[in-house]
Chains A and B, each alone.
Chain A
Amino acid sequence: MLKTLLTRAKFRRALPWLVRALALAHVLWWIAPAPPRAVMGPPQTVETAHPVICVHTRLTDEIEPWKIQRTLQLVREMGAAAIVEYFPWAYIQETEGAFDWWHADQIMSHAANQGLRVHARLGMTPDWARPDPDVLATSTNYIDAQGYEAFAAFAAAFAARYADTLEGLVIWNEPNLSFEWGYRPVDPAGYVELLKFIYPRVKAAAPGVPVLAGALAPTLEPAGSPNGMNDLTYLEAMYKAGAAGYFDALAVHTYGFKFPPDAEPGLDILNFRRAEYIRDIMIRYGDGDKPVYITEAGWNDHPRWTRAVRPGQRIAYTLQAFEWVEQEWDWAERLCIWAFKYPERQGNWRDYFTFVTPDLRVKPIYEAVQAYARGWEDTEP
């Protein structure tokens, strides 16, 4: 039938048009603007009067190198000296024995080029390092003793590869929450076991890279809660399980919610100065010489989220928090604010934590922090 329809004569008549269409498509393709390229420029340095300023970036799902570069450029121009970034193990070592460093290389090389120091948060277990799903269904946040050795090897490889740019290696995220611990009851001793595997291997591979433990979620979960464990309780349990010898610094999460940064802490409330209770525990267990890196903190200015503040308050509190850390917490090296930018709009209150929109437009808080960091006019919080 096709032969009947497409006679040779018809084809001959159609051929010139086909050739023209192909030529036109070729010309259009040729003149189309090239996608933006991320050409590495000369090495930059961060200009800041407040090196404590740091931000948690969200480049994990940022695919285009030019956006990674532009984001880190904006971080540097704002005057932040360091970033925290998440590097999922499952993305880098999707198959056992093979590493795909391409995306991590993009982030680390551009960060280094911008003069930024990096805290790499490692987590997310690949399928091959988790139990057979036919035996036990697990989430990507699940890791057990069978996976510790492989995770330690990955952490060591990561530390060795990026030692020059790393300021710290944060082991796991918020293990005191059930869902961050693979939807199991949380297990401080189990987490310490993980540290015991990782610490010597990272030190052997990259002795100068500090290993950061903790990164606990501030939470008031009551004893026996299926959702998680109070962060203070969890940290004490970590020390009792012998954690002290297996990390160089503690990563701390401390959000302000509705409170200003100087609001008095309390055991039954969550606010910025809850970090002081964390510090007290460190001192009590003889770990007072170790520094703290606040790897998540901040305020939210969503118009209707119950834990949000007004936009102007968010800006003021953020600047006051930097001052507080500099003046009151000599044990805290960095204050990393969550979050600099999301790759995509979240469509909810999470968007109101950011400094820059997904399309790279800076918000007033960015300009306020920049003015403060760079020592420009009107910088008083």
Chain B
Amino acid sequence: MQSFRRRSRRAQIAIVLLAALPIAVLLVWLVFGRQGDDIFDEVHRRGALYVGIEGDNPPFSLLENDRLAGLDADLARALAEALGVEVHFVVMGYDGLYDALAVGRVDVLISALRVDPDWWEDFRYSVPYFDAGQVLVVPDGSGIAGPADLEGRAVAVEFGSEGDVWAREQQRRLKELHIQPYDAPVAALDALADGKADAAIIDSISARLYGRAGIEAVTTVSAEPYAVVTRVESAHLRAALDAALQAMIEDGRLDALIARWF
């Protein structure tokens, strides 16, 4: 009887292991199966990181004295340096960026590209390096700290923008919210700075670039993270880029880069 039970227990274990085997194989394939891209080694062999970049999207990329400049360009140089390779820019139109990465014309995209789950099947994103989402901008010392404080206030927005959409949604939630639409983000911020509005909901790029003093972005109301894009297979390269980016975030170099361009 004892011997039968032992055999039975062994048989049970064998069945469990057999049943688990396909699941384990599937998990291994899911985790490692698509990571056959040796682009990380290739980048080091050739000594250059090929970066797809728009080239005409200031302040992220622009030409300055015949040299590619901007936050994305500087970030690409810093990341390449962390990898111990040169950076080689491949400048192209916005519409061609993902295709260029897909066919291997470039190793990565660093071009103010937002994290977009729709591309998840073929591409992966790094740690975000910039948030271009909508921010709540108010006059210094206004006491407005967040959306809840907008009750009864006049809010400037760019007509038809994401900020406008957000403000209209708030308008349905709050008892009273006056939306003041303007043709351009700068016009909305001008209205705020001139005291014609109590707050503005504007994309963070426009808010950061706005030159006049006396107003400040107090909180983000909707995130739009920008990240470095790699092919889904480029796991090693992505890990190295993430590590380099994380180090830049922690030691303040990323903030310094952003401050340089905004």
Contacts and interface: CB of A to CB of B under 8 A. Distances in A.
Interface stretch (A57-65, A143-151, A166-174, A308-316): A308-316
B118 A345 contact: yes
Contacts of A311: 158-161, 164
B35 interface: no
Contacts of A349: 95
B168 interface: yes
Nearest to B224: A303
Interface size, B (range) = 20 to 34
B165 interface: yes
B105 to A, nearest CB: 19
A1 interface: yes
A312 B157 CA distance: 10
Contacts of A296: none
Interface in A280-331: 301, 304-306, 310-315
Contacts of A4: 8, 11
B23 interface: no
A35 interface: no
Given A311-B161, A364-B160, A1 B183 contact: no
B219 interface: no
Contacts of B225: none
A364 B119 contact: no
Contacts of B182: 312
B147 interface: no
A346 B183 CA distance: 27
B48 interface: no
A304 B94 contact: yes
Contacts, number: 57
A305 B94 contact: yes
A347 interface: yes
Interface string B117-151: 01100000000000000000000000000000000
Contacts of A347: 116, 118-119
A310 B119 contact: no
Nearest to B159: A312
A193 B11 CA distance: 73
B102 interface: no
Contacts of A305: 94-95
A363 interface: yes
Contact of B57 (A304, A361, A365): A304
Given A364-B164, A365-B160, A310 B183 contact: yes
A312 B118 contact: no
A223 interface: no
Given A301-B160, A347-B118, A5 B12 contact: yes
10 contacts: A310-B160, A311-B158, A311-B164, A312-B159, A312-B182, A313-B183, A348-B95, A363-B160, A364-B159, A364-B164
Given A306-B94, A364-B159, 8 more contacts: A5-B8, A301-B160, A304-B54, A304-B57, A311-B164, A312-B160, A346-B118, A348-B95
Among all A-B residue pairs, the 5 with the closest Cβ atoms: A311-B160, A347-B118, A312-B159, A364-B160, A304-B94
